[in-house]
Structure 1
Amino acid sequence: MIARVRAGEPEAYAELVRAHTGLALRAAVALGAGADAEDVVQQAFFKAYCSLGRFRDGAAFKPWLLSIVANETRNTVRTAVRQRTLAGREAALAEAEPLIPESADPAVAALEVERRAALLAALERLGEEHRLVVTYRYLLEMDESETAEALGWPRGTVKSRLNRALRKLGRLLPDFEPREHPGRQAHQAHQSHQESRGGGDEHE
């Protein structure tokens, strides 16, 4: 797809924009852009297009784009005249991409909204690095490799900072249970099965 864009096919980049706009909006809002999320994402796509000459062949587009979104969000937040409120951020996040199906039981939906508001409040109390790694891994559901690439950190750094961030969240939110990716759950189930048979692998 990137090769097609570099070859001068504007529709190819339009396809990339359509495929990644929802995720980019979620990232911008979750990282603090609030009502400016759409402007941030639009600017991020423009900068990404202008920087395609520096895009590494074979690299994944999503984490590269989200790193640009994160930088644009950071700049927007730092220069914003007004302060973002937690309520405003939560409302914008819900508007950017509904996370609760309309068919959900009202009681379950209310609990999910309450839990998410509590999580965002707790995230506000973390340092920037810890807030970023939790946001990418759990709010944006990116895997470890994508998170490392998006943040420009080694995977070991992602793992250690995520562990520290989760311990802090655990103290702030005793009931916090991050949802793992299905693939990771399957891997953990397989690993547990192997260990129960005495064949556990000591390597990560």
Structure 2
Amino acid sequence: MSVLMEVARLDESGELTDAVAVSRARAGDLAAYEVLVARYTVPAHRAAVLLGAGDDADDVVQEALVKAYRQLSRYRGESGFRPWLLAIVANETRNLHRSRKRREGLVLRAATGGGPEADVPDPAYEAIAHERRAQLVEQLRRLADRDRDVLVCRFLLDLSEQETAAALGVAKGTVKSRTARALARLRELLPVGEVPGA
């Protein structure tokens, strides 16, 4: 059985939890790390895009996955592999911003998720939804980085407060206060009903 087939079999069967996969990867089992890569590449890519990596999101994710593999010995498992990886993605995205020496022009766009749906969506609904997403993304771009980052993690990536704290490298209480302030700032910029969690 090929490595890819073994990865798919283990991941689909649910036999390999993140903790077990990390443990096996630390011991040199590349197939176990491939399971983690298969599980978390899409969320990592979404995080990179939403945090402002734009067209460089693929490179950010690849670098983050390589760094995560090299740093598996540092992984303590307190908050789970996903938020730990997303913290690395966030750091890599910040590194990208610093290397560009500019913040203007970075594209923040929401990644679409999910597979094809059985029903064909109403075109009018899709147009309105697209317009609302574009407006939300535009207003998110106007927020300060710390406000945007916490809202992206909490509402677009659907991370818990604890996972957001791990991803951003701040205390859980800081996540709560930043979220409240960022939502208040976003409410000032958007029409009623357009703010996540409102």
Q: TM-score range by the shorter chain?
A: 0.7 to 0.9
Does the aligned pair in 1 maintain the 2:51–2:152 contact within 8 Å? yes
Q: Does 1:39 align with 2:59?
A: yes
Alpha carbons 1:131, 1:165 under 8 Å: kept: yes
Q: Which residue of 2 aligns with 1:196?
A: none
8 Å contact 1:100–1:109 — kept in the other structure?
no
Q: Distance in 2 between matches of 1:67 and 1:162?
A: 17
Could you tell me which residue of structure 1 aligns to residue 28 of structure 2? 8
Q: Find the counterpart in structure 1 of residue 167 from structure 2.
A: 150
What is the total number of aligned residue pairs between the two structures?
176
SS for the counterpart of 2:142 is coil
TM-score, normalised relative to structure 2 = 0.80
- Find the residue that maps to 1:19 and give its secondary structure: helix
Shift of the alpha carbon at 1:179?
Answer: 5.0
1:165–1:89 Cα change, 3 Å: closer
Tell me the C-alpha RMSD between the 2 structures. Answer: 2.4
Match of 1:71 in 2: 91
CA gap 1:178/1:28 in 2 versus in 1, 3 angstroms = same
> Quick one: distance in 2 between partners of 1:152 and 1:61?
14
Q: Percent identity?
A: 49
Unaligned runs of 5+ in 1: 181-204
After superposition, give the CA deviation of every residue in 1:4-44 in whole Å (9 maximum; x if it has no partner).
11111100000000000110110001111111110110000
CA distance in 1 between counterparts of 2:116 and 2:173 reads: 33
Q: Hey, what's the Cα distance between the residues in 2 that align with 1:97 and 1:169? A: 24
- Structure 1 CA distance for aligned equivalents of residues 181 and 197 of structure 2: 17
- Retained in 1: the 8 A contact 2:44–2:89? yes
Runs of at least 5 residues in structure 2 that lack an aligned partner in the other structure: 1-20
Q: Which amino acid aligns with 1:178?
A: P
Whether 1:118 and 2:135 are equivalent positions in the alignment is yes
Aligned ranges 1:121-136 → 2 under 5 Å: 121-136=138-153
**Could you list the runs of 4 or more consecutive aligned residues of structure 1 that deviate by over 3 angstroms after TM superposition?**
81-86, 96-102
Distance, in Å, in 2 between the alignment partners of 1:47 and 1:8 is: 15
